[in-house]
Structure 1
Amino acid sequence: MTEAVPASPSTGAFDPASATIAIVTFNRSHLLTGLLESISAMEPKPGHVVIVDNASQDDTTEVVESFRDRIGTELVYRRLDTNTGGSGGFSEGMRVAYELGSEWIWLMDDDVEVLPQGLAQMGKWAPRFKSIQGRRYDYDGSAFYWQYRIAERMGIPIPFAPAGFDATGFKEMNSGCFEGMFIHRSIVQQIGLPDPRFFIYWDDQMYGWLASRKTTAVIVDEFVLRRTREIKQWDMGIRHMNASSNAYRYYIMRNRAYIKHYYRALGVYNPVLFGLGTTMTFAKELIRLLFVERTVRGTSNLFRGIRDGGRIARDRSWQPMAPLEA
């Protein structure tokens, strides 16, 4: 594994205008409205807001246009011809932000709101780190628990990574989440765009892992986002397990093949440990079905994902995403 190079403090202060917020949306104009309202109320604001619309069939275009003159910064709208999933949307959003010359790119879904000082709070850490994750409030106002570290060789999140922060105010991570990832263009240049082939699931974990191989990636003790969509959950005491969907179940298993390809390409693939991680992922999804969704229907999607993932894993022509030109 390539060792991460600790980020050194910069002599220059963070310039909010150097940042771009990149949003991916799909048929949720009511949620997008709330997010754009929160950006309108932010201070300071980013230099650009990029919205990637995954071919929505609702009034998303009209909503976006209604904010163009009142959001308080330049708004760039990209409506795609087809639904490319979150993976394709974030890949396009990152591409647009990078081509705009953004020094910092802040990724987020449409089902969050930005807290008024969110960009300033992230900017405090920008002189020190180049891959940063802030904290989020859940729909009910509690602190959202996110598994910020993975067991690398197994390719799965560590279920109970310590949640508390010490006096430093940050924790090193080797993962990522596109619901709030704040990343510097120099890292994007080195690892390329997010991989749209994932469609949904594991894409942000992989991208965060790739970033952590190039720089010291951190989650910081700053609440900067609030989730605005309620999701059915199983309260396990120290953490929650969210409900899923048949599509998610399929891609959770299928996309293990893409992780395997990346691991092989970067020389960290261990068939025994990775196979164990895949088995644990399958077991976790069965538990999710039984205890969160109270059903056994949906298991066929897990098996379809395993089948199609096998085909992807056998593709000898596969290549990882390429670095970007300066």
Structure 2
Amino acid sequence: MGERVCAVIVTYNRKELLRECLQAVLSQTRPPDHVLVVDNASTDGTPEMLREEFPQVEVLRLPENQGGAGGFHEGMKRAYEQGFDWLWLMDDDTLPSPRALEVLLLEGRALFRGSFVVAREDEGRTAFPYPLKEGNFSSAVEEIERGYPDGRIEGFLHLFPGTLIHRAIVEKVGLPLKALFLWGDEMEYRLRAQKKAVDMETLTRAVVYHPFDRQSIKRIRFGKRTVQLPFHKDPCRHFLILRNQVYFYHKYLGSSRLALRLLLYALFFPSRLGLLFKAILAAYRLSGTNSHPLERKEG
């Protein structure tokens, strides 16, 4: 018997997008062995739609909205405990191309494999930037594919749109940190995996479609170096971005890089200094309480 794959899809109040996503997942040339939808307490008729149109899909309905971080935490935990070998992770706004899972399984080498995330609004662009070999980043599909003619970007991936993760990685790295809720939980998980020397890759022939990154970016140039500061017009979402960035910069990237980032935020977003201060306090409170269940302790 071959290795078994569970697709884990997190949704919240977007039943039309979820319907499209499920249709694409169930129509794969190599379909997953099981599909688990984690419903973050949707109120738009999602449960009814799932019962009527997708009775073959398992639904894990959470009692309250726990954000993307909580949704993937609970979904990955359920699929892991059910014994699946591979977990194929995505939000409800991810639309996998017909061969995406087949390519991930057949062409991947690492146990942590990323799909190539192309923008739904423009198939010539990626939804998120990818690194080029000379150290720059690009969102131009042709340029990225030209830079990686073997179809493999080693050491990098974007979570969670179409990520394929082996259960051995869950054992080693743990589960997403629920407390991050939204905006940055995917970066924290990738940094945590990198800290544990987990091999990862993106396969450019495993295409999934996803909306452009909804964060706005302010780019600041220092000679040849560019610093990107994400922000959001909604103060609540901007708070989550700030808090979660302070958390993972402090935990994984170093105090000097964090200090520079905080200084730049203060200079370029002076109207939100109060929000920045609250985010810093919340991030340091968070750093003293986090845990990653299933994570294997080293040493």
TM-score by length of 2: 0.79
Q: 2:242 aligns with which of 242, 245, 253?
A: 253
Counterpart Cα distance in 1 of 2:191 and 2:286: 23
Distance 1:197 1:324, change over 3 A: same
Give the structure 2 partner of residue 318 of structure 1.
289
CA drift at 1:319:
3.9
CA drift at 1:261:
5.4
| Contact residue 135 and residue 219 of structure 1 kept, 8 A | yes
Counterpart Cα distance in 1 of 2:80 and 2:188: 19
| Contact residue 175 and residue 207 of structure 1 kept, 8 A | no
Task: Write the letter of the residue equivalent to 1:221.
Answer: T
* Secondary structure, counterpart of 1:186 in structure 2: helix
| Contact residue 73 and residue 175 of structure 2 kept, 8 A | yes
| Contact residue 171 and residue 218 of structure 1 kept, 8 A | yes
Counterpart Cα distance in 2 of 1:97 and 1:254: 29
Counterpart Cα distance in 1 of 2:21 and 2:249: 35
CA drift at 1:202:
1.2
| Contact residue 115 and residue 224 of structure 1 kept, 8 A | yes
Task: Point out the structure with the larger strand share.
Answer: 2
* Secondary structure, counterpart of 1:193 in structure 2: coil
Give the structure 2 partner of residue 3 of structure 1.
none
| Contact residue 128 and residue 213 of structure 2 kept, 8 A | no
CA drift at 1:281:
5.8
Task: Write the letter of the residue equivalent to 1:160.
Answer: F
Task: Write the letter of the residue equivalent to 1:68.
Answer: F
Distance 1:20 1:283, change over 3 A: farther
Structure 2 runs not aligned, ≥5 long: 220-228
Render the CA deviation track for 1:41-85: whole Å, top value 9, x for unaligned.
Answer: 22211011111111111110012112334xxxx521011111111
Give the structure 2 partner of residue 217 of structure 1.
200
Counterpart Cα distance in 2 of 1:185 and 1:101: 8
Moved more, 35-44 or 76-85: 35-44
Distance 1:228 1:274, change over 3 A: closer
Distance 1:28 1:318, change over 3 A: same
Counterpart Cα distance in 1 of 2:266 and 2:130: 20
Moved more, 171-180 or 198-207: 171-180
CA drift at 1:211:
2.0
Render the CA deviation track for 1:84-136: whole Å, top value 9, x for unaligned.
Answer: 1111111111111111111111111111212111110111234x211111112
Give the structure 2 partner of residue 304 of structure 1.
275
Distance 1:218 1:136, change over 3 A: same
Q: How does 1:200-279 map to 2 (within 5 A)?
A: 200-212=182-194, 213-227=196-210, 244-246=232-234, 247-260=236-249, 262-263=251-252, 270-279=254-263
Give the structure 1 partner of residue 225 of structure 2.
none
State the number of aligned residues.
275
Counterpart Cα distance in 1 of 2:136 and 2:258: 16
CA drift at 1:166:
2.7
| Contact residue 230 and residue 241 of structure 2 kept, 8 A | no
Distance 1:217 1:230, change over 3 A: closer
TM-score by length of 1: 0.73
* Secondary structure, counterpart of 1:273 in structure 2: helix
Distance 1:54 1:273, change over 3 A: same
Match status 1:51 vs 2:41: no
* Secondary structure, counterpart of 1:146 in structure 2: strand
| Contact residue 98 and residue 185 of structure 1 kept, 8 A | yes
CA drift at 1:252:
0.8
Counterpart Cα distance in 1 of 2:40 and 2:84: 22
Structure 1 runs not aligned, ≥5 long: 1-11, 150-157, 264-268, 287-295
| Contact residue 31 and residue 228 of structure 1 kept, 8 A | no
Counterpart Cα distance in 1 of 2:48 and 2:83: 27
- Tell me the C-alpha RMSD between the 2 structures: 3.2
Match status 1:184 vs 2:175: no
Counterpart Cα distance in 1 of 2:275 and 2:213: 28
Task: Write the letter of the residue equivalent to 1:321.
Answer: H
Counterpart Cα distance in 2 of 1:97 and 1:248: 29
CA drift at 1:139:
1.9
